[in-house]
């Protein structure tokens, strides 16, 4: 029987709400700790637990058919997969932050700074739109420590509760964009997979409606 393979975050910001959404859709999965793969008992769904940053690539390559990711990763890389549904959780913003003691009066103060980020495309566009010239340093993680170790004067990263910024002595000074969790799908699903996806999407929409 045809199954749909969904990739969700193994741990972190989107994990709990992703599991909760599947449950609210009436899908029973037992996500035992440290299990990287499991199956639903009452829906033809296989669940892969992966690093959030790897999910877009898995969906693009067809290793997973669908996935739950942050909108921000889709905006950063113009990917060939389709956005199926906004999910209404995982709300956060991609923001620029500087040392909490730094003077900051506006976007022009970013001129000439080094900005560390995992989102070079989005940051580049933001700087161009604001006619500011700054140096972008692309790093893949732990962006918030960059100012503290002398790698950059500013960062651009996701902010949710703000506690990561706070713990690293940074203050948020510009919101570049807002993001939330979305369901994405590989662009070449076969007929049966598309029917399963429609079924799942229908349930997700019902869950969303019930919350409004």
Binding site for ligand PRP (CB under 6 A): 12-13, 52-53, 141, 157-164
To Zn ion, the closest distance from the beta carbon of 191 in angstroms equals 33
Residue 111 vs 142, nearer CB to Zn ion? 142
Residue 40 vs 158, nearer CB to ligand PRP? 158
2 binds, among ligand PRP, Zn ion, none (CB under 5 to 8 A by kind): none
CB-based contact 198:85 (threshold 8 Å): no
109 binds, among Zn ion, ligand PRP, none (CB under 5 to 8 A by kind): none
To ligand PRP, the closest distance from the beta carbon of 161 in angstroms equals 3
Residue 6 vs 69, nearer CB to Zn ion? 69
Residue 105 vs 161, nearer CB to ligand PRP? 161
Tokens 């058919």 locate to 65
To ligand PRP, the closest distance from the beta carbon of 126 in angstroms equals 17
212 binds, among Zn ion, ligand PRP, none (CB under 5 to 8 A by kind): none
Applying CB under 5 A, which of residues 46, 53, 60, 124 lies at the interface with Zn ion?
53
135-138/114-117 β-pairing:
parallel
DSSP structure string for 22-82: HHHTT--B---TT-SEEEBSSSSEEEEEE-GGGHHHHHHHTSSSEEEEEHHHHHHTT-SSE
Instruction: List, in order, residues 6 or more apart from 92 with CB less than 8 Å away.
Output: 13, 70, 72, 158, 159, 160, 178, 179, 180
To Zn ion, the closest distance from the beta carbon of 115 in angstroms equals 18
CB-based contact 123:105 (threshold 8 Å): no
Binding-site size, Zn ion (CB under 5 A):
2
CB-based contact 89:180 (threshold 8 Å): yes
By CB under 5 A, residue 52 contacts Zn ion:
yes
DSSP structure string for 91-112: -EEEEEEEETTS---SGGGGTT
Q: Which residues contribute to the site for Zn ion (CB under 5 A)?
A: 52-53
């Amino acid at each position: 029987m045809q199954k749909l393979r969904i990739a969700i975050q193994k741990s972190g910001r989107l994990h709990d709400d992703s599991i909760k959404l599947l449950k609210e859709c009436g899908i029973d999965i037992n996500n035992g700790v440290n299990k990287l793969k499991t199956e639903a008992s009452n829906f033809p769904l296989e669940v892969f637990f992966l690093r959030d940053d790897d999910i877009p690539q898995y969906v693009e390559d067809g290793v997973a058919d669908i996935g739950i990711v942050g909108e921000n990763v889709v905006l950063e890389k113009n990917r060939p997969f389709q956005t199926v549904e906004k999910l209404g959780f995982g709300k956060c913003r991609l923001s620029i932050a500087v040392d909490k003691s730094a003077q900051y009066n506006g976007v022009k103060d970013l001129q000439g700074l080094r900005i560390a980020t995992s989102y070079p495309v989005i940051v580049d566009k933001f700087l161009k739109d604001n006619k500011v010239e700054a140096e972008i340093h692309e790093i893949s993680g732990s962006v918030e420590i960059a100012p503290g170790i002398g790698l950059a004067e500013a960062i651009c990263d996701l902010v949710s509760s703000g506690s990561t910024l706070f713990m690293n002595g940074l203050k948020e000074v510009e919101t570049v964009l807002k993001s939330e969790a979305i369901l994405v799908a590989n662009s070449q699903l076969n007929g049966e997979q598309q029917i399963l996806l429609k079924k799942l999407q229908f349930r997700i929409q019902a869950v969303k409606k019930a919350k409004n």
